A and B are shown apart, each in its own frame.
Chain A
């Protein structure tokens, strides 16, 4: 612990705190691992770090994801597509794709609502609209990790609407920290037997 900066100590603490919170959540229904699937889409906008934001505007993003109950909490995977438009003529636009896996908790609240918090990590690839460089250099991949939090409400049968926000740190040499806000829909259903078989 002596070697870690304060924010890292917080991250480690947070990793242990989050599962502990589950014990205090009165309405958390225990589901067996991979017994249900939640499929969702959402869209929204956001902002890059200040330096990048001077040159590129994050003009919008769309995301698709799946989530399953896990041995503890939920696991999920998803893909977010992000557009970044150049603010100056000398810099190319670029599209980003964040393909991630995640783990977190969903806490049931009154009035068919819930609050969720999850870690995410994955590959953040950036494709630059730059014809002056070699084809191999047009796309660059980097590790990225972050958190996603949000609220959702059951509106019809197994359909939920959600509002949320994400913070993603992209581990380029000079970091780029992205904040995204989103709204979306999700649908939850019982996993077919063959799917449960896969995860055994």
Chain B
């Protein structure tokens, strides 16, 4: 009877409780700490996803990554939510979210919180998962940091360049550097930082593509500045933060099929915080102003995206908590304005949202959370909801589940299609077309995940998971790329097929074990496959590998020295869009990406009592083919060298 009662509780919210519910035991949450980032020799913000258990990624240029969080999307639809210290950053544009535009440096990160289950977080329904960067809170007084990172991909010609075995030069990576200064006082702190990242398109295939519109300049340059002021009041806290990023890059516009030189710029200024009204009642607030620009960088056809999306957003949320439950409800507001010399039919639009969450923890063994969000635009509305449960069956076994249903309209994101529907048309200039077949409707998604965790002691944990996704009423973009031998680029009209559906099942295994105090290892295996659906959707989903396996070994014999190794296996993927181009382009491009196996090895050493940190990372140690996209780079063995300085006690 007791067990039956617990099962009933597992599916129903109960407000009789003994412990304040916390996100710590929410299913689908992973925390990556700064020491994990250091052990792995992470070089930039986008690389964080390489340590995420349930994030798959693909890359064209090796530096930016298209991600698929927990099979909530494939690599086309980029709808992950990004936050820095509770402030949401909408960096996406045209189905692309370049995480490196986030204006903070890896050196500033305290920990990264990754949510892989759809739910409401700070007034946003995270349909595509959440990557939340928490920066380090400065110690009292003045502190500062500086770092420099250089890399080199192997495969240069060397003396062979003077022989008949000459090959192209695949030069350096970086340098990346960042500097920052902080001041911490009793009730407030301030932070300021700057980062610069230079990269070079050196892969021969990418250089051929980029050369189509580019005047012999293969360098990209990213500059970011970020600052924050945090004040703790007697009645709560306030953080004012903001950042500016400019990025001269080669933007891969999938719908066009090639890279276009662009000058990207992103800026944001925001305020967020909490006011404690009563012992159990508080108000959370957030407001931000941001600009997201795609401007002209010198190119052969004088092409200019000429788009600046200005956004003003605000969230007001009331929170009631007691020892048993946390209830919150709030309102959200987003107003967008598109500035361009081009004709855009709809330049201004706004959205309002209403959201509520209830989390209960009636005793130490049971947690349940229910979220709801209703979003209203002038032209559409959508409903989103989720439920998560955690049941600690005993001190060793935990059973969790997460369910969600959400609707999504094209107008909710910064996809290429949403701008096309607002009348932003660049297709004639790019000599291609966008063809909508039928009447698109709002997408609907049902997700269900279950987790079973066994933790016999503090040294070992094993988690088994299973998942189900049902995407229906989806609009799927499809292209059949042709290859232009003259220009070395791909081209194809885009066809949008509405009413597509797909069912996905998934399974996973995660094992964490501390073998010795100095030695730990981790195994992550994930499987996913489409079990039914319409033909177009099933074909496009094949870009996501069915199997992925990561094994990490972390050996830290002493506090100041460590060795870290990662073995990664990804099964094959099929990119049907490139099927015909594959036949036309010969052996250079293959629409079936072969299984990849790579080993990374990282050495780290602290000097001067943790003032100086040095890291050597060898990526793809055995120099095996590592390719993610038919038209993307093929990684060879690459070495990275990092030096970080942390000055934690500068005299005032």
What residues of chain A have their CB less than 8 Å away from a CB belonging to chain B? 3-4, 8, 33, 51-52, 55-56, 71-72, 84, 90-92, 94, 101, 121, 123, 126, 128, 137, 140-143, 170-174, 176, 197-200
Contacts and interface: CB of A to CB of B under 8 A. Distances in A.
Given A3-B597, A52-B159, A143-B154, A171 B561 contact: no
B163 A200 contact: no
B622 A172 contact: no
Most chain B beta-carbon neighbours within 10 Å: one of A84, A128, A137, A172: A172
Nearest to A123: B152
Contacts of B608: 197-198, 200
Given A4-B622, A142-B152, A51 B607 contact: no
A172 B639 contact: no
Contacts of A4: 622
A132 to B, nearest CB: 11
A170 B158 CA distance: 9
A23 B586 CA distance: 55
Interface in B132-172: 152, 154-160, 162-163, 165, 167, 169-170, 172
B423 interface: no
Interface string B416-451: 000000000000000000000000000000000000
B557 A71 contact: yes
A72 B609 CA distance: 20
A55 B622 contact: no
B560 interface: yes
B159 A171 contact: no
Interface string B607-647: 11100000010100011100000000000111100000000
Nearest to A70: B561
Given A8-B622, A71-B561, A123-B152, A173 B159 contact: no
Nearest to A176: B158
A171 B163 CA distance: 17
B561 A172 contact: no
Contacts of A94: 159
19 contacts: A3-B597, A4-B622, A71-B561, A84-B159, A92-B162, A121-B618, A126-B158, A126-B159, A128-B162, A140-B156, A140-B158, A142-B152, A143-B154, A171-B155, A171-B623, A172-B160, A173-B157, A174-B157, A174-B160
Contacts of A199: 560, 607
Nearest to A91: B162
B650 interface: no
Nearest to B558: A71
Contacts of B156: 140-142, 172-173
Nearest to B155: A173
Contacts of B152: 123, 141-143
Nearest to A101: B616
B605 to A, nearest CB: 8
Interface string B547-568: 0000000000110110000000
Nearest to B160: A174
Given A55-B162, A174-B157, 13 more contacts: A91-B159, A91-B163, A128-B162, A140-B156, A141-B172, A142-B152, A142-B154, A143-B637, A171-B636, A172-B157, A173-B156, A176-B160, A200-B608
B489 to A, nearest CB: 25
A172 B155 contact: yes
Contacts of A140: 156-158, 169
Nearest to A48: B159
Contacts of A72: 557
A121 B618 CA distance: 10
A88 B637 CA distance: 32
